[in-house]
Structure formats: structure tokens, C-alpha cells
Amino acid sequence: MLFDKFVDETRLWWSAYFRGIMKAQLDGRLDPKGGKIFYPNILLATNCSGYYVAEFIGASEKFDYLSIKIHKERSIYRYLSQFDDRKPDPVFNLNGTNNGMRFLCLAHDADFDAIKERFPQIELYGSKLNRVGGHGSTLAFDENFVSCAIENCILVNRNENIFRCKSILSAYIVKSTINKTQLIDLFESTTRANEVKGIHTVGDADVRFVVGEQLQSMFLFPNLRETTIGEFIMRHPDVVKKAFKTNHFEYEPYLEWLEHDGTCEDNAINPDLLVKREDGFYDIYDLKTALLDRGSITKASRNRRRFIDYVEEGISQLANYREYFEYPENAALAKRKYGIEVNDPKLVLIVGSWENVDTDEVNQACRKYRNVSVVDYDTLCHMFLGAQ
């Protein structure tokens, strides 16, 4: 099956399914057993060189549509392990068709007490399989593998002393040679029992953990595009509102340059986030990636500490956004179009993770800038999870 066909068939089938579930909910025919129902809103489809993956992401109180995000990965094992594509010594080897697993935590040599500091959602999983001596992806696929479904599972991955967790609400992994009949049979076999699949049913206190764990899984996804992370944050506005203590923000406002010094060649600015402060003015935020392939986002010794080029470019982009608002015609347009006013804005770059961000080094690298902050994604998640 061609990858585009796989994406279309998956989107059509599951969109119809979720609409049917929402109708049953509205008609009072659904029993959430004391929990609250949340629907996915993003379909992340990944071509893994011989394997296709459809993963449902997000948590919305109603189902509108699935936003399609396409990704290409060189190996199914790097997709699952979050580190590399080496041949694994797994917890499970899967073969044949319509394999399935639910409500499991799969790990290699995991120290769960240490893991929960960074990934507090690990506490939500009661059933844990922790294999001693394995390595790489916790799942592997034999020669005759065709398809499998993974529901409400977390994969704990390890590379030396670094742990990463991949939280999965619902994912379908198939061999690229699958045909339409086999694909639909996988979906139908998964949903055949009198039980709803592909949604979250959680208490109000746990939904924030659900969103937080999915955000962590996304920024720890190798080579995932900034736009996909941005889409997730746009579809889950409480991440920004709770983490940065704001009641309003604008996502990707499009603001034309009406006035400049004559050297500007751009037509407009399009910042990721403009976040409202308590005084009513807005700060400027930009989303980058977690830079999983970098050991540090800074370089050089303390007296010459500076950011690597990728981060420097992000800060330069933020400075350009700040300059836009220094011209009265531009400022007037922003207020007229979005109700935004900017006064001595804080510039915030969201980049990196606990794996490559040292707070002292970041503070040293920020010395030469005015009103610039760098926040890593793990810290963003914990700010969100810990917000009152």
C-alpha cells in the first residue's frame, strides 16, 4: 500500500469512528465509568522505511477533526526507541497480524524512582514489564509481521544513563506491504469488543498528565518538525496558559511590515506565540526543537559562554520580532488586527531539554542579551503540570 493511501484510509475510518463515539456520548449511550472523555485531535502518520505508523495524539473534550501531520523516519526502531535504529533485544517480538497490547509499561533496566522525576506520568501505569539485559526498542518485528495495535502504553527507553519515555494513547503499526482489507480488519478487530478505543477516559486531575506526557513524547520524537510541536500546543492552549500564567495568547499571528528602516526584505513577521502579561502587554515566544542530537545548547568556557548557532538564530529571530513593534505603524496594525500591544517585551526561546540544558550555562550565555530567556521543553512541561 502506498503511504498516502495508508494515511487517507486511516483518517477516514477513524474520523467516522470518533464521530460515532461522540454521538453516542451526546445521546447518553456511553458510560465513562466516572471519568471524563477526551478525543485525539492529531493524526501523526510516519513512514518508517518498510513500516507505517498511525499515532493518535491530543486530548479534546469534543471531536472536530484529525489534523494530519506527516513524518518520515529511517527506521521503525528509532521511532520506538527514541535514540537509534540498532537491532534491538526487545521485551516482545511481534509476528503475524492484528497483534495488540494495552495498559502496559515496557522497559529495559529501568530505575522507575529516577524516571518519575522527569516523567511523573509513569505513576499512572500499574503494570510494568522491566526486562533485565535488553537494549534498544522494547518491541521488535519478525519476518512475518503484518500489523499491531498499541493502546495506552508507555515505552521506557534507555541509552546509557539517559531515559526517555514514549507515551502512546493509540498507535497502529503495519508493514508497508499491507493491503486495504488487512488494514481495515486491524481497525475493526481492535474496536470489535463493546469497549471504546482510541480515546482518553480520565479524571479531571489526570488530564493534565495526559497532555503533558504527550507533549514530552513529541519533543523527544527524533527530527519531529517544529510545526508539529506548534500544532500540538495550538490545539492544547492550556499548556501555554498554565505554564506561563496567562489568560490569552495569539498563536502565529501574521503581521505585515508597514514601516521599517528601508533594509527589511520580509513581507511580514509570523511569531509562534505572543503571550499576554499581567499588565496587558505581550511578550514574544518562539518554539524550536529539543535538539536531541546535541549534548549542549551552549559552547565555550564560562568567560566566553555563548549559544550554539541554532539557538543564536532563534534569538536573532526574536529580536527581529521585537524590532517590528518599535515602528508606530506596525504597532498600530498589531493592535487593530489582534488587540496586541507590546512594551519592552520579554523574548523567550523554547528549545532543548534536560539532557542538553544546563541552567548556569544558559544564564551565562544570556548575559549579552536584553530581556532574553531560554526555557527547555522538560521545564515547560513541569511548569504546566505544576501550575495552580
C-alpha pair distances (Å), 115 with each of 79, 85, 88, 104: 20, 23, 21, 16
Is 134's pLDDT higher than 80?
yes
Both 144 and 247 in a single domain?
A: no
Residue 248 domain-assigned (yes or no)? yes
For 210-235, letters b (16+ CB in 10 Å) and e give bbbbbbbbbbbbbebebebbbbbbbb
Domain that holds residue 354: 237-386
Q: What is the pLDDT, as a whole number, of residue 387?
A: 85
pLDDT digits (tens, 9 = 90+) for 41-61: 999 999 999 999 999 999 999
pLDDT of residue 333: 98
pLDDT at 35: 83
Dihedral angle of Cα 33, 36, 41, 47, to the nearest 10 degrees:
-40
Q: Is residue 84 part of a domain?
A: yes
Q: Is 369 exposed, middle or buried (0-12, 13-18, 19+ CB in 10 A)?
A: middle
Residue 228 lies in a domain: no
Based on the domain organization, do 199 and 97 belong to the same domain? yes
Asked whether residue 272 is domain-assigned, the answer is: yes
* 123 found inside a domain: yes
**CA of residue 226 relative to chain centroid, distance:** 9
Instruction: List 284's β-bridge partners, or say none.
Output: 274, 347
Contact 298, 361 (CB under 8 A): yes
Instruction: Give yes or no: residues 104 and 248 share one domain.
Output: no
pLDDT above 90 for 30:
no
Co-location of 136 and 272 in the same domain:
no
Q: Among 207, 222, 245, give the residue marking a domain's end.
A: 207
Query: What is the per-residue pLDDT for 246?
Result: 98
Are 192 and 242 in a shared domain?
Answer: no
Residue 229 lies in a domain: no
Does 231 map to a domain? no
Q: What is the pLDDT of residues 348-371, one digit of tens each?
A: 999 999 999 999 999 999 999 999
Q: What is the pLDDT of residues 204-252, one digit of tens each?
A: 777 888 899 999 999 999 899 999 999 999 999 999 999 999 999 999 9
pLDDT at 202 over 90: no
Q: Which of 115-129, 135-149, 225-239 has the lowest mean pLDDT?
A: 115-129
For residues 305 and 187, state if they share a domain.
no
Q: Are residues 309 and 189 in the same domain?
A: no
Backbone angles phi, psi at 358, to 5 degrees: -105, 120
Residues 299, 198 share a domain: no
pLDDT at 301: 96
Residue at which a domain ends, from 207, 226, 253: 207
Residues 157 and 288 in one domain: no
The domain that holds 373 is classified in CATH as: 3.40.1350
In terms of pTM, does the model score above 0.85? Answer: yes
* Same domain as 268, residue 155: no
Q: What percent of the chain has pLDDT over 70?
A: 100
Q: Would residue 105 count as lying in a domain? A: yes
Do 328 and 183 fall into the same domain? no
Q: In the predicted model, what is the mean pLDDT of the chain? A: 95
- Specify the number of domains making up the chain: 2
65, three cell numbers: 477533526
Verify that 113 and 248 share a domain, yes or no.
Answer: no
Report d(CA 277, CA 158) in Å as an integer. Answer: 39
